[in-house]
Chain A
Amino acid sequence: MSTLNKLGLAEARDALRKGETTSKELTEACLSAIEGAGALNAFVHHTPEIALERAAAADARLKAGDAPAMCGLPIGIKDLFCTKGVPSQAASRILEGFKPEYESTVTQNLADAGAVMLGKLNMDEFAMGSSTETSVYGNAVNPWRRAGEDTPLTPGGSSGGSAAAVAADLCLAATGTDTGGSIRQPAALTGRVGIKPTYGRCSRWGVVAFASSLDQAGPMTKSVRDAAIMLEAMCSYDPKDSTSANLAVPNFEAALTGDMRGKKIGIPKEYRMDGMPDAIEKLWQDGIAMMKDAGAEIVDISLPHTKYALPAYYVIAPAEASSNLARYDGVRYGHRAKLDAGDGITEMYEKTRAEGFGAEVQRRVMIGTYVLSAGFYDAYYNRARRVRTLIKKDFDDAFAAGIDCILTPATPSAAFGLGEMTDADPIKMYLNDVFTVTVNLAGLPGIVVPTATDAQGLPLGLQLIGKPWEEADLLSSAYALEQAAGFVAKPDKWW
């Protein structure tokens, strides 16, 4: 059996350019890995015909010497991205049967760069969740297990299908999206790399909207180099997204020097949470030592409004979601409830949305509706937006004082068991994003790199937070961390 699916993007690209393999072989290796991995429930819509067609086109381009960055590289696409003629339903029942007549800018950019789409990946419904358990397709499963146990673990969320697929080598890399940590948390729980770029770097056009002021797409990959390659292919200025940044996209891969000399790494004291597990504290201290050994200067910093990030997020994100999800009315696309005699248009809306949205989505839409309703708008929504200004200012002040990037843990724990949080109150699940959500509120780039395993053999990751538009520098720091950590552990294949 071929092991080409185990390659990363850079290795596969180099092998393709040297003529050592073909896109067809790479693609077939991934398709066969996907076929054997039904137990992970990572791929939820399979597109082998499209994949083989694109692989053939890529091989022709390679032969002709026209091989852009991602040419011939098979990847998975999160179900949140609209892909022409292919189901794109944000893991929601309300978009059942929806096949977009258009392609998202990010997936178009990837296709233009020669990437091969293998299929669509599982996720939390509308990207609302941290475990993929809110998916209409059922949860995805983490390829990692605790040593000596067969308890099924979550791959994290919302991009849990993407994380599981990349961790299990079902594809070379995958797209994710990140509104509060949805790329970085699952990357950390599966021992992979995930980067959320600066808000505005990747076009949001054609990406099913959750919270428009926070949503950003990014790659989930097997290495920092792969993240650099794929991020560059995803980014572009797009007039169809009014918040897209009209800035040149640097050559991220060329910036990967890993040279930390003269760089200042900030360590925010507010990220040392009460009750933080020893394993996470040790992970963080080890990461600090690695950065110091690499030549960076370590500086203690303060981001005083950190503890208010999650509560602010749980006002702003549901508020924007309640507005964005108003479009699901059973009229233009997706599910419409069966109506009883005499039902009018209001009953159609109410029944359609009750049937089409899962419990967590309903909860967030209604919270959003409440915080935006007359009488509460100032007390909740405007207050949260003012706190958001302060959260961003904390970062601005740190960077203005000369900090180049900030090192924090990625998650409060390793992957937890599926179903473990079912009976907990929603806040407990929300706490998964405690280290990542500040980055979305401040619009900053953040990357997660796996650096160690815990006592049970599960991967743990660290997060680096960069200055706006300085992804190149951030990736280089992440590269240094990756080199120092030398994380090579892989899950044992049980699926």
Chain B
Amino acid sequence: MSIDEHTAARVAKLARIKVEPEALGALAQEFNTILGFIEQLAEVDIEGVEPMTSVTPQNLTRRADVVADGDMQDAILKNAPDAREGFFAVPKVVE
């Protein structure tokens, strides 16, 4: 299975990473090298084998559905590149 520039562009778009058109060829080539390496997995007989969901046989523990902390608006906004009036600010989303 070979990845072309069109597929590389689609993956970059899905990953929300801007890739310049002239860089797509090299990117596709790298993908092909890595996917070629991963291809080995096709040799393994996985018939009847469950995909691993948890490496240790433990169930996720539940906790009471109560507010455990909060009231820390300043701390949450402190590292934002753009915070105004108690909110995260982003470019206009709707016209």
Chain A interface residues (CB < 8 Å from chain B): 97-102, 198-200, 213, 239, 242-243, 245-246, 305, 307-308, 310-312, 314-315, 322, 326, 329-336, 339, 343-351, 353-354, 357, 362-363, 365-367, 369-371, 373, 380, 382-390, 392, 425-427, 430, 441-443, 468
**A382 and B51 contact, Cβ closer than 8 Å, known pairs A365-B15, A427-B33:** yes
Q: Which of B17, B56, B60, B90 has the most CB atoms of chain A within a 10 A radius of its CB?
A: B17
Q: Does A384 lie within 8 Å of B17, measured CB to CB?
A: no
Q: Is the interface of B mostly helix, strand, loop or mixed?
A: loop
Q: Is B75 an interface residue (CB 8 A)?
A: yes
Q: How far is the CA of A385 from the CA of B50 in the complex (A)?
A: 8
**A427 and B37 contact, Cβ closer than 8 Å, known pairs A322-B15, A354-B18:** yes
Chain B interface residues (CB < 8 Å from chain A): 3, 8, 11-12, 14-19, 27, 30-31, 33-35, 37-44, 46, 49-56, 58, 60-61, 63, 72, 75-76, 78-82, 88, 90-93
Q: What are the residues of chain B within 8 A of A347 when measuring CB–CB?
A: 18, 91
Q: How far is the CA of A311 from the CA of B40 in the complex (A)?
A: 7
10 interchain pairs, CB-CB under 8 A: A243-B56, A331-B90, A334-B79, A344-B91, A344-B93, A369-B15, A383-B46, A389-B49, A389-B51, A468-B56
> Nearest chain A CB to B33's CB is how many angstroms away?
5
Q: Does A305 lie within 8 Å of B58, measured CB to CB?
A: no
> Nearest chain B CB to A90's CB is how many angstroms away?
14
Q: What are the residues of chain B within 8 A of A370 when measuring CB–CB?
A: 3, 11, 31, 35
Q: Which of B38, B41, B60, B88 has the most CB atoms of chain A within a 10 A radius of its CB?
A: B38
Q: What are the residues of chain B within 8 A of A199 when measuring CB–CB?
A: 55-56
Beyond the given A350-B18, A427-B33, please list 16 additional residue pairs across the A-B interface where CB-CB is below 8 A: A99-B78, A101-B72, A101-B76, A101-B79, A312-B41, A314-B37, A348-B90, A353-B15, A354-B19, A363-B27, A367-B35, A370-B11, A370-B35, A373-B14, A386-B50, A390-B46
Q: How far is the CA of A310 from the CA of B44 in the complex (A)?
A: 13
Which listed residue, A322, A384, A392, A426, touches B41 by the CB 8 Å rule?
Answer: A384
Q: Does A339 lie within 8 Å of B91, measured CB to CB?
A: yes
Q: Does B17 lie within 8 Å of A350, measured CB to CB?
A: yes
Pairs A-B, 10 closest by C-beta atoms: A443-B55, A385-B51, A333-B79, A336-B81, A350-B18, A354-B18, A101-B75, A386-B46, A349-B16, A369-B15
Q: Does A346 lie within 8 Å of B37, measured CB to CB?
A: no
Q: Does B51 lie within 8 Å of A386, measured CB to CB?
A: yes
Q: Does B44 lie within 8 Å of A98, measured CB to CB?
A: no
Q: How far is the CA of A468 from the CA of B91 in the complex (A)?
A: 49
Q: Does B56 lie within 8 Å of A245, measured CB to CB?
A: yes
Q: Does A333 lie within 8 Å of B41, measured CB to CB?
A: no
Q: Which of B8, B40, B56, B93 has the most CB atoms of chain A within a 10 A radius of its CB?
A: B56
Q: Does A350 lie within 8 Å of B41, measured CB to CB?
A: no
Q: What are the residues of chain A within 8 A of B79 when measuring CB–CB?
A: 97-101, 332-334
User: Nearest CB to that of B12 among chain A residues?
Assistant: A366
Q: What are the residues of chain B within 8 A of A365 when measuring CB–CB?
A: 15, 17
Q: Does B81 lie within 8 Å of A330, measured CB to CB?
A: yes
Q: How far is the CA of A311 from the CA of B38 in the complex (A)?
A: 5
Q: How far is the CA of A349 from the CA of B42 in the complex (A)?
A: 35
Q: What are the residues of chain A within 8 A of B12 when measuring CB–CB?
A: 366
Which listed residue, A239, A343, A363, A443, touches B91 by the CB 8 Å rule?
Answer: A343
Q: Does B49 lie within 8 Å of A390, measured CB to CB?
A: yes
Q: Does A387 lie within 8 Å of B16, measured CB to CB?
A: no
Q: What are the residues of chain B within 8 A of A389 when measuring CB–CB?
A: 49-52
Q: Does B17 lie within 8 Å of A354, measured CB to CB?
A: yes
